[in-house]
Chains A and B, each alone.
Chain A
Amino acid sequence: MPTDEQIFDKICELLKPYNVKNKPILRASGIMSDLEVDSTAVFDLIMELEDHYDISIPMEVISDVKTVGELVNAIQDLLNS
């Protein structure tokens, strides 16, 4: 089971191509509001995470996720369920 830190690092790695202004990625960073990742790219990122962890991240879960930290927590919850 990946650690919280490993999930955060993986998200940072996958976010890189979408973080066009190269802003620092923090747990508190808003994925769309701070990192300026558009909604289409967010869904692409989610599919990459689904494939990497072999989980389903349903759309209703994504709609509640605003920050990188919340995404880490959502993936942890799905891996533990």
Chain B
Amino acid sequence: MSGPKSTADGEKVAASGLSIFSKYDPLKQRVDVVKKLGVDPFDMTFDDIMSATRGRIGNREIILAGTNNYLGLTFDPSTRASAKDAIDRHGTGTTGSRIANGTYVEHEQLERDLAAHLGKPSCIVFTTGYVTNLAAMAGLAGPNDVIFIDADAHACIIDGTRLAGTTTVRFRHNNPADLDKRLARQKIPEGGHALVVIEGLYSMFGDIAPIDEFVAVAHKHGAYLYVDEAHSYGVFGETGAGIAEEQGVLDKIDFYSGTFSKSLASVGGFCASRHPEFELLRKVMRPYMFTASAAPSNICAAQAALDAIKTRPELRHNIMARAAQLHAGLSDMGFELCAPASPVIAVRRDNEVQAAMEWNWLLQEGVYVNLAVPPGTPESSSLLRISVSAAHTEEDVNAILSRFKALKDNGDDIIAEMMRRMQASA
């Protein structure tokens, strides 16, 4: 093996000529293609956000239809007033972790109120939703435990298994019978337990888990069930406690996690448990112990949003009505949708380049949706992903539908125009 070379100024470089970034060359090629189409979907900036449903890029007003702002509470008078008041009383940040100076009475009050809403004796608040699953999963699973995850698990669940460093087995998506088979097949080491991790509403396709069936399978094998309701808390269930509540099994869920960055209109996360011993994990969960706690304004905004979830069921009625309207409209136009109506509606496209072109065209026409491409998507699919908000009006949804109608009617011309633009910028 040859050693490093030296440049003219004496800096050593690898003999191969490759840099630490060379492994990302294939990714760079993909990014370069997307950039030639116009706006980079994964590196875009809004010049302004004016409401839960409107943003601005340059002089163009954009309908926001991909922000996971399910209840539209980020601009609600109650959340804004609560956040402003928290800043006035406690400042802009805690500058410390939950185990040092970063726990205020508001953090604890929110934990008590979330626990009460979910009917659990314990709830722990974290700094983000991603950190929540990372911390709780790694805290719960020890070396002798085995984690079972759904094949379409979110990245934070996969990363949670990595941080836990324990044996992890995947089962087929939303398939309790397949989990049953894998639980029966897997040997659990002496002293270990099985931890099954699923989501309530899957964020890419918008499909819903049969949590009630998973409860039965997990508990039949003596496994613990962990449900991430990041996309469904606040939206489903009679009181907004999620799909587990809607399916009548909320009390059977061992661990229930969620985020503040969707229905709770803030930044942060939480995990509640029916096991009071969960409290002890505050002393072992490294992503809880060694990161700054959520800012007081974030905590107080989430508290106000939680109050809205409990007292304003009309928010859930609105979002479900808009989701049904949008799903029916797209379906009538002949678009292939990945799941029945829910607040997440994924439109399947033929390939990544087509999806990227259409995403750019929609933005140009004043509608922001999410572009979702492999490897972050189930079935290696390319998607235009829409998330509906309770703040959307019937007219907003009609406006979104009209752009998709144009896409359907003039798709070939739109693609041809985008191709010309790409060639011109080559």
Q: Do A and B come from one complex?
A: yes
Q: Which residues of A contact B (CB under 8 A)?
A: 38-41, 43-44, 46-47, 50-51, 54-56, 58-60
Known: A47-B151, A47-B172, A54-B185. A59 touches B161 (CB 8 A): yes
B182 is an interface residue with CB less than 8 A from chain A: yes
How far apart are the CA atoms of A38 and B186 in the complex, in Å? Answer: 26
B375 is an interface residue with CB less than 8 A from chain A: yes
B378 is an interface residue with CB less than 8 A from chain A: yes
Whether B168 pairs with A40 at a CB distance below 8 angstroms is no
Whether B186 pairs with A56 at a CB distance below 8 angstroms is yes
Q: Which residue of A lies closest to B379 (CB)?
A: A40
> Which residues on A sit within 8 Å (CB–CB) of B186?
56
How far apart are the CA atoms of A43 and B153 in the complex, in Å? Answer: 12
Whether B185 pairs with A59 at a CB distance below 8 angstroms is no
- Name 20 interchain pairs, CB-CB below 8 A, sorted by A: A38-B380, A39-B375, A40-B374, A40-B377, A40-B378, A41-B380, A43-B151, A44-B151, A47-B151, A47-B170, A47-B171, A47-B172, A54-B185, A55-B185, A56-B169, A56-B185, A56-B186, A58-B168, A59-B169, A60-B168
Near A by CB (< 8 A), chain B positions 221-274 give: none
Near A by CB (< 8 A), chain B positions 122-169 give: 146, 151, 161, 165, 167-169
Q: Which residue of B lies closest to A18 (CB)?
A: B380
How far apart are the CA atoms of A56 and B185 in the complex, in Å? Answer: 7
Query: 9 shortest A-B CB distances, which residue pairs?
Result: A59-B168, A58-B167, A56-B186, A39-B375, A40-B380, A56-B169, A38-B380, A38-B375, A58-B168
- Expressed in whole angstroms, the minimum distance between the Cβ of B348 and any Cβ of chain A is 15
Q: Which residue of A lies closest to B178 (CB)?
A: A47
Question: Which listed residue, A38, A51, A55, A59, touches B170 by the CB 8 Å rule?
Answer: A59
Q: Which residue of A lies closest to B182 (CB)?
A: A56
How far apart are the CA atoms of A45 and B404 in the complex, in Å? Answer: 35
Interface of B is mostly: mixed
Interface centre among B146, B165, B171, B380, by most A CB within 10 Å? B380
Near A by CB (< 8 A), chain B positions 336-381 give: 374-375, 377-380
- Expressed in whole angstroms, the minimum distance between the Cβ of A49 and any Cβ of chain B is 12
- Expressed in whole angstroms, the minimum distance between the Cβ of B276 and any Cβ of chain A is 31
How far apart are the CA atoms of A47 and B161 in the complex, in Å? Answer: 18
- Expressed in whole angstroms, the minimum distance between the Cβ of A63 and any Cβ of chain B is 9
> Which residues on A sit within 8 Å (CB–CB) of B165?
60
Question: Which listed residue, B146, B167, B170, B377, touches A43 by the CB 8 Å rule?
Answer: B170
> Which residues on A sit within 8 Å (CB–CB) of B182?
50, 56
How far apart are the CA atoms of A58 and B185 in the complex, in Å? Answer: 12
How far apart are the CA atoms of A47 and B173 in the complex, in Å? Answer: 11
> Which residues on B sit within 8 Å (CB–CB) of A55?
185
> Which residues on B sit within 8 Å (CB–CB) of A58?
146, 167-169
Question: Which listed residue, B167, B171, B185, B375, touches A40 by the CB 8 Å rule?
Answer: B375
How far apart are the CA atoms of A16 and B377 in the complex, in Å? Answer: 22
- Expressed in whole angstroms, the minimum distance between the Cβ of B131 and any Cβ of chain A is 21
- Expressed in whole angstroms, the minimum distance between the Cβ of B148 and any Cβ of chain A is 10
Q: Which residue of A lies closest to B380 (CB)?
A: A40
How far apart are the CA atoms of A67 and B168 in the complex, in Å? Answer: 21
- Expressed in whole angstroms, the minimum distance between the Cβ of B376 and any Cβ of chain A is 9
Q: Which residue of A lies closest to B181 (CB)?
A: A51
- Expressed in whole angstroms, the minimum distance between the Cβ of A46 and any Cβ of chain B is 8
Q: Which residue of A lies closest to B187 (CB)?
A: A56
> Which residues on A sit within 8 Å (CB–CB) of B168?
58-60
> Which residues on A sit within 8 Å (CB–CB) of B170?
43, 46-47, 59
How far apart are the CA atoms of A43 and B169 in the complex, in Å? Answer: 10
> Which residues on A sit within 8 Å (CB–CB) of B167?
56, 58, 60
